[in-house]
Structure 1
């Protein structure tokens, strides 16, 4: 079975080629990705606990969904596709920033991503795919930050980096939210 390809990029997010997803992760090459943050009308943030069968970060809590754009697919189209595939719903999304990070995992894989962060609001039913999502819940920013301070290893590496910037975008101070 052919594995999906990711888009290899420069540090300026300029596409320079494609590579099979697992090979890019084995080699730690910079590639394009995205992370979706969802809030409800109360301002709580939707978290998902990654399924235990994920190839890295199984069982860790993170943002509503994240993945990689397919070659030729826009970030917005990819984000809508994966939100539906992972969480079973879709909603309007807006890209709010992008950042680069690199995390090496115990299994030898490396996430080295140019991560586009999108945000949306949703209040309806959630129907997660159990092969992608172990659990989910909405929590306030202050509850999340408190839990991250008490148990940082329960969250993905990119969530630690993206959440403070999302809160800043939302004009929620990290200090006033509990840290």
Structure 2
């Protein structure tokens, strides 16, 4: 059985909990987070989701994403999952949030209030093979090009979050 997710309303106020798969089967709004990490050259660390993930297997996406556990702070959850999925941790800060809904061919629906975190890291990346098939650092311009030429190779939430996080990164210099 998968862990529970935090069901929320449109203002991100908790309204209950539900087992993760059931929430995705019913398409109910729940809290999530996405972590975007860049190196000192401003290149973004992307992960290719493991092929056997419950949805979006084999697609490229941001460094790490998941759901906080009931009673868990979003930032603490982001640090926990960054270590579990990618084998490292770094300083993170929340930069924005957004809500999205995406239906998948397997009948599951992501309907998430997504908190977006940003960090910088230049050390070793040791991904969990059960979660991550591959990793790579790419420049923001290379990612923009791939989103135009190979859009189906990226997750739906990456398409939505990338323009705003890229603008944030570029503003930071």
Task: Report deviation, 1:171.
Answer: 3.3
TM-score, structure 2 normalization: 0.97
Give the corresponding residue for 1:159.
158
Q: How well do the aligned residues superpose, as a CA RMSD in angstroms?
A: 0.7
TM-score, structure 1 normalization: 0.94
Counterparts of 1:1-179 in structure 2 under 5 Å? 2-171=1-170
Aligned pair count?
Answer: 171
Unaligned 5+ runs, structure 2: none
Structure-1 separation of matches of 2:2 and 2:162: 30
Over residues 43-73 of structure 1, what are the superposed CA-to-partner deviations in whole Å (9 max), with x where a residue is unaligned? 0000000000100000000000000000000
Structure-1 separation of matches of 2:109 and 2:2: 17
- Runs of 4+ that moved beyond 3 A: none
Structure-2 separation of matches of 1:3 and 1:160: 26
Task: Report deviation, 1:169.
Answer: 1.6
Over residues 79-135 of structure 1, what are the superposed CA-to-partner deviations in whole Å (9 max), with x where a residue is unaligned? 000000000000000000000000000000000000000000000001000000000
Structure-1 separation of matches of 2:134 and 2:57: 12
Structure-1 separation of matches of 2:125 and 2:145: 25
Structure-2 separation of matches of 1:115 and 1:66: 9
Structure-2 separation of matches of 1:120 and 1:24: 29
Task: Report deviation, 1:168.
Answer: 1.7
Unaligned 5+ runs, structure 1: 173-179
